[in-house]
Structures are given as structure tokens and as C-alpha cells.
Chains A and B, each alone.
Chain A
Amino acid sequence: MFFETIYRWFASLFGGDLADFLSGYVCATEEESDGGYLGSNQFVTYGFIALGIALAVMLVYYYVINHPRFNRWWSWLLMLLVVGLFNIFIGALMTSGDLAAGNIDDCLINGENGGIYDSNCWMFGLANVFVSAIFFVIFSIGLKWWSTNCKRSPF
């Protein structure tokens, strides 16, 4: 629920149908009765990946690189960009993979909320960037103070 809540802040970017798919929505079929949120919630997976990448890059920046010439605001922004790049591709490529593999039910692909196209997948990748950026900012603020050279980056 935690991750889903955050991702749904950006649902207007990637569309309600993809959001429903990622929440585990399964379409109703003729053989079985009603559809619903019967599948696994993939927001949790994406959320943990985004969180893990943000944490890893944060640790690398503050405690492995930890360099006095790489502690400016732009150094931190560069690391945020790295986090963003990882997450845009992970978000976009994994969802478009699901789309291409037919893992998404037709009722969602042709859904009432605009359906799901490749562009929705890339927009989800963008949403993934925003979510991972939130984690990176929170981790940076909370854990930077023990870094000798970068504790004042980005502020």
C-alpha cells in the first residue's frame, strides 16, 4: 500500500489502466466470474527496486566516492540523474515487456482510462524517476551527516 500510494500520486502521467495493472487488476472472464485486484501488486516490486537503487547510489556517493572535489550541489544532482536513468529504464522496459508479452489483460489495454500503449510505459518510467528521486532526497538528508567530505552536499 505504501508504494502504491506514492506511485498513484503520479498516475495521471502513465494512466489509470496501467496503474490498475500494476496494482494486480485482473479482467473478468467468461469462464470465471468477476475480475478484480487478484494479481500480485507490482508497485511493491518497482518500489523496492527504486528504493534499493536510491539507497545504493546514495551510499556510493556519500561513503564510497566521498571525494572533496565531488561534493558540490551539481555532484549530488549528477548522482540523482544516475538514479533517475536506472529507474526510467527499469520502469519503462519492464512494463513494456509485460505489454509485449501479453501479460496485460485486454480490458486494461483497451480500457476506459485511455488504455495502455508504449507511451504509457515510458511515462511510468518517468513516474518511477520521481518516486526514486523522493527516496534519494530522503536518504540523502537522513544519512549524509556521517560522510566526511560530502555531508554538506547538496546543501
Chain B
Amino acid sequence: MSKLYVFGIGGTGSRVLKSLTMLLAAGVKINADEIVPIVIDPDHAAADLTRTIKLMQDYNKIYNRIDHNNYNRNAFFGTKINLEIIPSVRMPLQNTENTDFKTYIGLPLMTDENGKHNANYALATMLFSEKNLDATMEVGFKGNPNIGSVVLNQFALSDEFKHFAASVNQDDRIFIISSIFGGTGASGFPLLLKNLRAISDTQSGCENVKNATIGAVSVLPYFDVAPDNNPDEMRRSEIDSATFISKTKAALSYYEKNITEANALYYIADNISKQYKNSEGGTTQQNDAHFIELAAALAVVDFASLTGLSTQNGQPQNIVYKEFGIKQEAKEIAFGDLDSKTNSTIKKPLAAFTLFCKYLNEQILNSYKDQPWAKDHKFDDNFLRSPFFQSELGDLKKSYLEWLREMNDNVRAFAPFDLREKKGDVFSLIKGETPAKIGNFRYILTSNYALFDAYLNSKQGKIKTDSTPEQIFVELFYNAIERLVKSKFRM
């Protein structure tokens, strides 16, 4: 049982974890038995973080309700997201709530015996501006990696870090997701890497952590935030996208010299960006999903499949550097713009899961009362009112379609699907591709969701019935959709 620990640092970390969860829900295969997500973000209320955690909790509930035996064909929700090792998913930071940075570092106590400011005080005020020192940290470090590099250094002391370290086995891997242009991610990544490689010898599991294969993706600027024109300078947002590039350059320069402990480093960037509303954090920090986050999630998938990486005494024997590219420049990326490797990883799973979600959204209420696939397995009103259907699968489906729409509307857009409700032309789903005609005479007069129902009806007799309704439901849909995708999309 190999585990892949995925640390998501800051807002970008959460959003990439969300994309990874969507890929796993769709059945993208990853070379790990379990994913253990760990979020490091002082901004507990960040909407991106809470949305991601809710999504992973829903995923986990669905995963636990379905069988994962080899005789089942189902690939949806195929990889376990382990929420047992760190149930809260978050690696907590202590003493960051209701306090400002100067109190956190003990600035008022930096005095000599006469009560005058000492040399430490002078050094601190030289390194940190007045605005830095007065900054509160409930919503993160607001684009200030110099604050983050001090505060984040404490996470190795938390119980959650100890639980993590104790659970790492020899074959497990670790992956770190961070942005390079903000505050939390830019400062958290080097610190986390340092804490992992230089873990205390007294810590349980320290050898496995120290010598684990570690990968990381650094996300370079891919969005802007609108300038905050508040005339009150003290109330003006500290997030200024004009500094993103200079911060990135400074961080890259630091990484070049100092990040030598990772086995694989992925870099991803985009030169087109969308401007979001300026938010320092909290419940208003909710950026739309972006293709860059999906590509960064693919770095996790790629890293899990890498071979030949080894570490001795906390030092990687060789370091792999990777970037992500698309086949051709496009402001609206469709599958035809992606290279064959990316398509072979995501195209079929995403098409299949999108069909699944669209059917649940647009058709199931019209079908479940009449179709044999529903009546034979008692997928009735009670089933459709169950927590599984309503609040687990229902919420995840909603989030998935929202995720696709957000990427579709973003800049640069990832728009491989026509997500409009078109009951008369369901299979014109993949943009730029004409659905194939079905040669089988049996289905000559059957199209759209009727064809979907026909495939469900034809597959339902072959599903093992000695299982839970949830398992039968997911298995049945996967089987039918796999056949649909093969016959309509030639995949």
C-alpha cells in the first residue's frame, strides 16, 4: 500500500488539490494506492480551502461506500483519499489568530535591561516594514513571504506533523504544491522541504520522511488581482499583482541556489492571466478554477509514475526538472490543443465523468421511475433522497460541473466540453469532435439520453447484485458510460 502525501500550501495549494480530487473522481489513474492531502494555510476561512476540504470529504464518503475489487470495472473514485491520518486535512499554525506579527515575534519584548529597544529590535524593524509588523495573520501572509518564512517554521511542532511523520512508510512519496508569487506558498515550500529533510531524529518515522522521494510543483503567476484604490493606505490591500513577477524572480533565484532537496521539481506558468477582485483572504478569497491548476495536478500524477528517483541521507541522488506545455497556442484550450500524453491521461476520464454528471443533472429524474435499470435495483425516491445521492454524489457532481464551467470561463480558458443542456444533441459534448454514428441496428432509432438509458438497461443485468446500492449504482453507470464513450467518441 503506497501512499502519496500531497501538501497544498496556500490558496493555490488548495485549488490544485481540488483539481486533483476532480481528476481522481473522474478516474484518472495515479500510481499510488492512497492520496493523503495536507493543507498548510493560516487562512482557515479561505473559501478555496473550505471548498476543497468539503470536496475531499464528499469524495471520501463516496469512496468508502463503493467496492474497489478487481472484478469491478468502475474507475470513478478509484483512488483512496486518506482523511484518517490527518482528519482535519489542515496542518495547524499556532498563535496566528487574533494577533499581529509584531506580537507573534515578540517585538515589544525586544528590550535591554533599561527597557530600551535592543539589537534584535533593530534587526526586526530593518527586515520587516511597519505594515508587516502590524499585519494580522488570520487570512495568511497577504503576499509577504518574509512573514510566512518566520511563522510557518513552526508547523513541524504540531501533532498533525508528528502523525504525518509516523505514518510515512518506506515506499511512500511526498509532493508539495505551492505558488511562487504569493506569501504562504512562496515561503512555505522551502521551509517544508527543509523540515522534511532535516526532520528531528527523535521523531517517529524520521528516516522514512528524510529519505522519501519528494516532488514539488511551483506555480508561477497565472492571474492578476485588481489594484486596490482605497485612499487610506493602511486599509489598502497588501496584495499587489504588480509585484508578482519581481517576487517570482527573487524566489526563483533563491530556489536555484537553495532548493536541492527535492527529487523532482515541476514549474508551471502562463503568460495570459485574468484579473480577479482583490481579496487578502478569508471567505472572499474564492478564485475561479483555472487550467493551470489542472496542469499542476497532473504534475502530481506524473510524479507518482516517475521511476529511478532515490534519496540517501536526506539528499536526492538526482533531480528531475519538468515543465508543462500544450501542443498549440490557444486562448480556449480544447482536447485537440493538448499533447497526446495529456490527452491519454485525462480525455477519456473527464469525458466519461462529465457525461455521468450531466446525466445526473439533466436526465435521471425523468428516467428513474420507468427504466428497468432503476426499477430492478430499487433506485427509487428513497435512493434519490439518500445522503449518498443528495449530499455526497450530488454535491460532488455540482462542484465538478462548476469546476469545469469556471475553467471554461477563465483566461486562459480550458473549454473542451460544450456544457450547455442539449437534450437533443447530448453527444456533441466534446468541442471539435463529431460523435460517431452507432452501427448496431438495435440502437438505430435510439439517441441522446434514450441511448444512455438503453446502455444502462443493457448493462444492468451484468452487474453483481450482492453489493450495496451505491456500489451497484456507480458500477452500472461506469459500465454504461464506458460503452457510450467507446461507441460515440471512439475512446
- Which residues of A line the B interface, CB within 8 A? 66-69, 71-72, 148-153
Indicate if B226 sits at the interface (CB-CB under 8 A).
no
- A67, B450: Cβ atoms closer than 8 Å: yes
CB neighbours of B450 from chain A (8 A): 67-69
CB neighbours of A69 from chain B (8 A): 450, 453
A-B contacts, CB under 8 A, total: 37
For the complex, what is the distance from the CA of A17 to the CA of B91, rounded to whole Å? Answer: 95
Indicate if B371 sits at the interface (CB-CB under 8 A).
yes
CB neighbours of B367 from chain A (8 A): 68
With A67-B450, A68-B454, A152-B371 known, 17 other A-B pairs at CB within 8 A are A67-B446, A68-B450, A71-B371, A72-B370, A148-B372, A148-B454, A148-B458, A148-B461, A149-B371, A149-B372, A149-B453, A150-B372, A151-B372, A151-B376, A152-B372, A152-B376, A153-B370
Indicate if B488 sits at the interface (CB-CB under 8 A).
no
Q: A68, A69, A152 — which one has the most chain B CB atoms within 10 A of its CB? A: A68
For the complex, what is the distance from the CA of A77 to the CA of B453, rounded to whole Å? Answer: 21
If A148-B458, A152-B370 touch, does A68 touch B375 (CB 8 Å cutoff)? no
- A67, B445: Cβ atoms closer than 8 Å: yes
- Which residues of B line the A interface, CB within 8 A? 367, 370-372, 375-376, 442, 445-446, 450, 453-454, 457-458, 461
What would be 7 A-B contacts, judged by CB atoms less than 8 Å apart?
A66-B442, A68-B454, A71-B371, A72-B370, A148-B461, A150-B372, A152-B370
Which residue of B is nearest A69, CB measured?
Answer: B450
CB neighbours of B458 from chain A (8 A): 148
For the complex, what is the distance from the CA of A71 to the CA of B450, rounded to whole Å? Answer: 11
CB neighbours of A71 from chain B (8 A): 370-372
Tell me the interface secondary structure of chain B in the complex. Answer: helix
For the complex, what is the distance from the CA of A149 to the CA of B370, rounded to whole Å? Answer: 9
For the complex, what is the distance from the CA of A66 to the CA of B445, rounded to whole Å? Answer: 10
> Residue A68 contacts which of B371, B376, B461 (CB distance < 8 angstroms)?
B371
For the complex, what is the distance from the CA of A117 to the CA of B372, rounded to whole Å? Answer: 48
CB neighbours of A152 from chain B (8 A): 370-372, 375-376
If A148-B372, A152-B370, A152-B372 touch, does A68 touch B457 (CB 8 Å cutoff)? yes
The 3 closest A-B pairs by CB, nearest first: A68-B453, A152-B375, A148-B457
CB neighbours of B461 from chain A (8 A): 148
B59 to chain A: closest CB distance in Å? 31
Which residue of B is nearest A146, CB measured?
Answer: B461
For the complex, what is the distance from the CA of A79 to the CA of B442, rounded to whole Å? Answer: 20
- A149, B375: Cβ atoms closer than 8 Å: no
For the complex, what is the distance from the CA of A34 to the CA of B458, rounded to whole Å? Answer: 63
B447 to chain A: closest CB distance in Å? 10
If A67-B445, A71-B370, A71-B371 touch, does A149 touch B376 (CB 8 Å cutoff)? no
Which residue of B is nearest A64, CB measured?
Answer: B442
CB neighbours of B370 from chain A (8 A): 71-72, 152-153
Q: B371, B372, B442, B461 — which one has the most chain A CB atoms within 10 A of its CB? A: B372
For the complex, what is the distance from the CA of A149 to the CA of B456, rounded to whole Å? Answer: 9
CB neighbours of B376 from chain A (8 A): 151-152
For the complex, what is the distance from the CA of A151 to the CA of B376, rounded to whole Å? Answer: 10
CB neighbours of B372 from chain A (8 A): 71, 148-152
For the complex, what is the distance from the CA of A152 to the CA of B372, rounded to whole Å? Answer: 6
A56 to chain B: closest CB distance in Å? 19
For the complex, what is the distance from the CA of A55 to the CA of B454, rounded to whole Å? Answer: 24
For the complex, what is the distance from the CA of A36 to the CA of B458, rounded to whole Å? Answer: 57
CB neighbours of A151 from chain B (8 A): 372, 376
For the complex, what is the distance from the CA of A153 to the CA of B372, rounded to whole Å? Answer: 9
